[in-house]
Structure 1
Amino acid sequence: MPNKSAATLTPASRQEHLDRLRDATAQNPLDVLVVGGGVNGAGAAFDAATRGLSVGLVEARDWASGTSSRSSKLMHGGLRYLEMLDFKLVAEALRERDLLIKHTAPHLVHPISFVFPFFHKVVDRAFIGSGVMLYDAMQMIGRKRAVPMHRHLLKKKMLEYFPALDGEKIVGALEYFDAQMDDARFVMMLVRSAAQYEAAVTNYTEVIGYLRDGERIAGARVRDVLTGDEFDVHACETILGGGVWTQEQQELAGSEKGLEVLASKGIHITIARDRIPAARDTGVITKTEKSVLFLIPSDEYWIIGTTDTPWTHDPDHVAATSEDIDYVLEHANEVLAEDLTRDDVIGVYAGLRPLLQPIKKSEGSSSKVSREHTVMRMEPGLSAIAGGKYTTYRVMAEDIVDFAVKDTYPGRHSLTRSVPIIGAQGYAELKRDQAELAARHGFDEIRVERLLFRYGALLTDVLALAEEDPSLLEPLEQAPRYLRAEVLYAARAEGAVHLADVITRRLRLDYEVRDRGVGAAEEIAAIVGPELGWDEARTRTEVETYRAFIAARLEAEASHSDDEAAAAVSRAPEVPVIP
């Protein structure tokens, strides 16, 4: 049974989770140790824990600090895969998207409509229309729809929905539906869900080696990044969900075979909501010569992206260049009536897609491959998963856990199709009573919607903090979208360790305000510092480190090559190195 109190990730509970990992000895090993705290690793830990297995999850940095916090923030079926005739993948993604909306995470995943503009009246309406019709038809097989059907829009109606589109170039459009989410928050909630089922979960816990029992991998040696303490964690099965760091971990394990993962950089920019007039929950999707262009409404801004270019540098140091930003602006301006400029850009973020390379035939007996993700036995006791897409994380988690434990625990089947993510239960009631909630606390409608989308039923825990200090219901002075209570809750329940964890992943200030959260850094540090045991010197270090990190990112965004961008961000880490 779930234990809600176990899902509260505090500094004290982090130590308790570390102690439980340390207690996983050769004589009393964990059933499963998961390495990597992105969506794949968090999903695998949640899946394994709900099966009743003893589980550990370790992440070298913060939860979702890599690719899993730098996506387009969409849970979508993958419309473009229909063009590749990958019907099975699209059907699977649509099924998972609908499950998230209706049951697993209705508080974290919400429907959103997109306008797909037509530049050629007959050809586009026929070609794109037939593709979206098939997309919608695949959502009707054996289940009730979670989103409305698509519809064609004549030019006049299209401009009513999205008046910012260029009516001189665009002759009509099609409206269809997918879903959006906050990616970093989604992963953090998955981690807390795993903890609720007694998984031992620790961020800033780095794997520095793998344990062996003869030819078998028997767990990992880890280092607590905060203290430097090193210890062994024994496990019957170890699962690697390393994303673009997969090969690095394979080499550390001494595996002679493994998965080949290449990195592709995708960047997004944010623009103020009033710069692109449109219906509140309607975005735009169109194709470019290299990728797909999304204009996605999110809170009080637009997320616009993306790019798709090879990244050959250290994955820890990914950053956008000036050319990347100009590319996104150029392609956005091709569909907008009024051009955007660099002055309109509020924030920028860059991430790496892990592109899985084909598996050799000789390795087929120890791997399971789909078009989008692969699970593979690299060594006895060590399995890995790579590739895939956000929307199908649950299926991927089920696949890798099934694969890893098929011999050791063959009767433990996945339950995540029916088990919701923390915050889902009770969300519908809060949503129904949101007007009363707003009146009770003096919030406007937008504030309440934003809070419910971020916390679901856990919002009652956030607001309860104000019972001890009513000032916590006040907004941050330099970031008024967020309440002071949200900042305190990040340190008291959401596993934040550093200032950057709060600013960039518990909140989203590094890309949703023009100063990237620098102005609010001291105010936020003053709230979380006492909770995290910081003295005055540590607090100052956290603030100065974050300021330097943002300065380095801005330097990268003015550069003209990946070499320069990587060099710039490598000089200023996101979090301080604690002696």
Structure 2
Amino acid sequence: MVAPARLDLDQRGDTWSSLPDHDVDVLVVGGGVTGAGVALDAVTRGLSVLLVEQRDYASGTSSRSSKLFHGGLRYLEQLNFSLVREALRERELMLTRICPHLVRPVSFLYPLKHRFWERPYVTAGLTLYDSMGGARSVPRHKQLSRTKALRMVPGLRKDALAGALLYYDAKSDDARHTMTVARTAASYGARLLTSAKVERLLREGERVVGAEVTDVESGETATVRCRVVINCTGVWTDDVQELAGGRGQFHVRASKGVHIVVPRDRINSETGLILRTEKSVLFVIPWGMHWIVGTTDTDWDLDKAHPAASRADIDYILEHVNTVLAHPLTHDDIEGVYAGLRPLLKGESESTSQLSREHAVARPQPGLISIAGGKYTTYRVMAADAVDAARPDLASNVPESVTEHIPLVGAEGYHALSNQVETIALRQDLPAWRVEHLLGRYGSLVEELFAMWAEDPSLKDPVPGAEEYLRVELLYAATHEGALHLDDLLARRTRISIETKDRGVTCARPVAELVADALQWDSGRVDDEVKAWEARVAAERESQTEAADQEANAERLAAPDFRNRSVGRALA
């Protein structure tokens, strides 16, 4: 078993200082799930790898998805069987081999509204869904009468269904999964740098041979030379292609997807829901003590780093979910809201819901590979395709991808530990639900957290204002998981930003003070980080009261970016 890498300030400093001295085979630009997957795929083929990300792991699309590993039922209806089969095979790999500690089955109830034709139609689709891609780790779908469905979901309106089917998919914390893929890549020898922005790509003739990178934290610059750059920047794909001075072979269009988070007790149900809308589908996904409800699918051409949810987006979600709920949700029920951008391959249609969810890989010029599109679920396949496409720029004997056989850090030993929850709870003096929570986030790496509070028992205390988490989890994020800023901690290493009614304002200062020594923050820096978080929350709340995208975008951008070296002066 590979030893898990420790992503901390020392690792970051060593990586930065070594940039001028070490050429690499593969420079990965982008730290979302595709970029992290490419780094892992390349390094496990024996290639030297550097990944650079201008913000944080999963800070873009990969932390703002529907949190599902799924085949996509609606793609079956579109007769896109190959995409569904591929995604279901990946779902099975995640559940059984690659990251069973991070991905787990989830059930969804599909309400039927028409008494005669709809049940056989949906049954045919779900029968196919159950059998494609070698799915074995989730139960097959079940037929439910109206009475049984209402018993399972008492929160449904009685006139909202004539019957139902229950089927299974899988869910995961996308940001945690992405970070774990990146950490696994580092464990096999890849070098990783967050807060590192590519300013320009270096060329010799038409060949891309490297990049000039700026440390966003310090303003320093360094030159990295490589055999190939793999562009994994999602909605920024076109921007990076332009840095090479050439025209890409495909173009990406951003589609905004908004989700809301509400308390678990606001919807009385034992299962998730999937509802058809006029454009797509709407999911109600169980998420700990909460429900995630979404998503929307609308064109977005404004700020890519901080897409804003408008009141219209939220109203759309509430309107559609309330058509089936006995007790409608209101704006007052909402604990959190998040908006993400899907990088879709541009097509002829003006509707983003019709643009391609399949991925494309191109080599627009020697030394540059771009990959875009696709689904979160198929990130591993996308990564393998991107490295395969880079072969002309690499050594002739690059091996085949092996990532389908490589568990992520924390997976080895997870099943044994999950069978010992009661024993561990007794030994660590914790409730069993706390142990289950930790195992579901860290797997066998939980032993590293146990070692930390053995030295400082106060780390076992809950986080003030976010009691679902323990203090050790926030400190571990700074010492082992590469967090550099308060928003890394509250929005991605944990989900405090969407799981608490105040969106993390209460716990912001205690958390900043907890990690201050590990991140070398003085009291002034602690104040700056807390003020920046408060400004972000205020800006997001304001943006969500605006009727349209333009106004919502303007309100969201009123908050300074955490990764701005002048953030302290901006807040003064």
- Please indicate, yes or no, whether the TM-score normalized by the shorter chain is above 0.5: yes
SS at match of 1:112: strand
Q: Residues 302-350 of structure 1: CA distance to partner in whole angstroms, max 9, x if unpaired? A: 0000100100112123110111111101111111111111111111000
Tell me if 1:323 matches 2:312.
yes
Partner of residue 419, structure 2: 432
- Asked whether the 8 Å contact 1:555–1:565 carries over to 2, the reply is yes
Partner of residue 363, structure 1: none
Separation in 2, partners of 1:311, 1:358: 15
- Asked whether the 8 Å contact 2:195–2:563 carries over to 1, the reply is no
Identity among equivalent pairs (%): 50
Q: Residues 237-287 of structure 1: CA distance to partner in whole angstroms, max 9, x if unpaired? A: 1100010011111112211233210111100000100111112xx200011
Tell me if 1:85 matches 2:79.
yes
Q: Residues 108-167 of structure 1: CA distance to partner in whole angstroms, max 9, x if unpaired? A: 11011110000112122121111111111214xxx4611111011001111121111112
Please, which of 452, 464, 477 is the counterpart of residue 490 of structure 1?
477
Separation in 1, partners of 2:440, 2:395: 37
Please, which of 490, 496, 509 is the counterpart of residue 503 of structure 1?
490
Q: 1:205 to 1:402 in 2, by over 3 A?
A: same
Please, which of 193, 218, 226 is the counterpart of residue 184 of structure 2?
193
Please, which of 499, 510, 514 is the counterpart of residue 512 of structure 1?
499
- Asked whether the 8 Å contact 1:21–1:200 carries over to 2, the reply is no
Separation in 2, partners of 1:173, 1:409: 55
SS at match of 1:122: coil
Please, which of 33, 44, 51 is the counterpart of residue 38 of structure 2?
44
Tell me if 1:378 matches 2:364.
yes
Please, which of 81, 105, 108 is the counterpart of residue 111 of structure 1?
105
- Asked whether the 8 Å contact 1:259–1:357 carries over to 2, the reply is yes
Matches within 5 A, 1:177-576: 177-279=168-270, 282-358=271-347, 372-406=358-392, 408-411=394-397, 412-575=399-562
Partner of residue 147, structure 2: 156
Please, which of 138, 158, 174 is the counterpart of residue 167 of structure 1?
158
SS at match of 1:102: helix
Tell me if 1:53 matches 2:26.
no
Q: Report the alpha carbon displacement of residue 407 of structure 1 after superposing the two structures with TM.
A: 5.2
Q: Report the alpha carbon displacement of residue 406 of structure 1 after superposing the two structures with TM.
A: 4.4
More off after superposition, 434-443 vs 369-378: 369-378
Partner of residue 2, structure 2: 2
Matches within 5 A, 1:95-110: 95-110=89-104
SS at match of 2:219: coil
1:515 is matched by which residue type in structure 2?
Answer: D
- Asked whether the 8 Å contact 1:107–1:452 carries over to 2, the reply is yes
Q: Report the alpha carbon displacement of residue 426 of structure 1 after superposing the two structures with TM.
A: 1.1
Q: 1:504 to 1:371 in 2, by over 3 A?
A: closer
Q: 1:371 to 1:61 in 2, by over 3 A?
A: closer
Q: Report the alpha carbon displacement of residue 574 of structure 1 after superposing the two structures with TM.
A: 4.2
Separation in 2, partners of 1:341, 1:574: 30
- Asked whether the 8 Å contact 1:545–1:576 carries over to 2, the reply is no
Q: Residues 60-114 of structure 1: CA distance to partner in whole angstroms, max 9, x if unpaired? A: 0011000100000000011110011011111111001000000001001101111
Separation in 1, partners of 2:157, 2:561: 40
SS at match of 2:469: coil
Aligned pairs, how many? 559
Separation in 2, partners of 1:184, 1:53: 25
- Asked whether the 8 Å contact 1:18–1:200 carries over to 2, the reply is no
SS at match of 2:559: coil
SS at match of 2:159: coil
More off after superposition, 370-379 vs 10-19: 370-379
Partner of residue 13, structure 2: 15
More off after superposition, 286-295 vs 402-411: 402-411
More off after superposition, 408-417 vs 114-123: 408-417
More off after superposition, 438-447 vs 460-469: 438-447
Q: Residues 354-380 of structure 1: CA distance to partner in whole angstroms, max 9, x if unpaired? A: 111259xxxxxxxxx996000000211
- Asked whether the 8 Å contact 2:307–2:340 carries over to 1, the reply is yes
Q: 1:211 to 1:565 in 2, by over 3 A?
A: same
More off after superposition, 430-439 vs 52-61: 430-439
SS at match of 2:403: coil
Q: Report the alpha carbon displacement of residue 551 of structure 1 after superposing the two structures with TM.
A: 0.4
2:525 is matched by which residue type in structure 1?
Answer: R
2:172 is matched by which residue type in structure 1?
Answer: M
2:213 is matched by which residue type in structure 1?
Answer: V
SS at match of 1:349: strand
Partner of residue 352, structure 2: none
SS at match of 2:227: strand
Q: 1:292 to 1:99 in 2, by over 3 A?
A: same
Partner of residue 70, structure 1: 64
Separation in 1, partners of 2:396, 2:563: 44
Partner of residue 365, structure 1: none
Partner of residue 362, structure 1: none
- Asked whether the 8 Å contact 1:67–1:353 carries over to 2, the reply is yes
Separation in 2, partners of 1:323, 1:357: 25
Separation in 2, partners of 1:72, 1:144: 21
Q: Report the alpha carbon displacement of residue 18 of structure 1 after superposing the two structures with TM.
A: 1.5
Separation in 1, partners of 2:88, 2:322: 30
Matches within 5 A, 1:140-151: 143=134, 145-151=136-142
2:258 is matched by which residue type in structure 1?
Answer: I
SS at match of 1:40: helix
Separation in 2, partners of 1:574, 1:170: 46
Pairwise CA RMSD of aligned residues? 1.5
- Asked whether the 8 Å contact 1:3–1:198 carries over to 2, the reply is no
Separation in 1, partners of 2:223, 2:403: 29
Separation in 1, partners of 2:248, 2:309: 33
TM-score of the superposed pair, with normalisation by structure 2: 0.96
- Asked whether the 8 Å contact 1:250–1:258 carries over to 2, the reply is no
More off after superposition, 434-443 vs 218-227: 434-443
Q: Report the alpha carbon displacement of residue 521 of structure 1 after superposing the two structures with TM.
A: 0.1
1:19 is matched by which residue type in structure 2?
Answer: S
Separation in 2, partners of 1:564, 1:166: 35
Q: 1:371 to 1:311 in 2, by over 3 A?
A: closer
Q: Report the alpha carbon displacement of residue 19 of structure 1 after superposing the two structures with TM.
A: 2.5
1:268 is matched by which residue type in structure 2?
Answer: H
- Asked whether the 8 Å contact 1:546–1:574 carries over to 2, the reply is no
2:56 is matched by which residue type in structure 1?
Answer: D
Q: Report the alpha carbon displacement of residue 17 of structure 1 after superposing the two structures with TM.
A: 1.6
Consecutive unaligned residues of structure 1, counting only runs of 5 or more, are: 360-368
SS at match of 1:520: helix
SS at match of 1:46: helix
Partner of residue 364, structure 1: none
Separation in 1, partners of 2:145, 2:111: 10
TM-score of the superposed pair, with normalisation by structure 1: 0.94
Q: Residues 427-467 of structure 1: CA distance to partner in whole angstroms, max 9, x if unpaired? A: 11111111111122232232222111111111111121001
Q: Report the alpha carbon displacement of residue 212 of structure 1 after superposing the two structures with TM.
A: 1.1
- Asked whether the 8 Å contact 1:246–1:259 carries over to 2, the reply is no
- Asked whether the 8 Å contact 2:366–2:393 carries over to 1, the reply is no
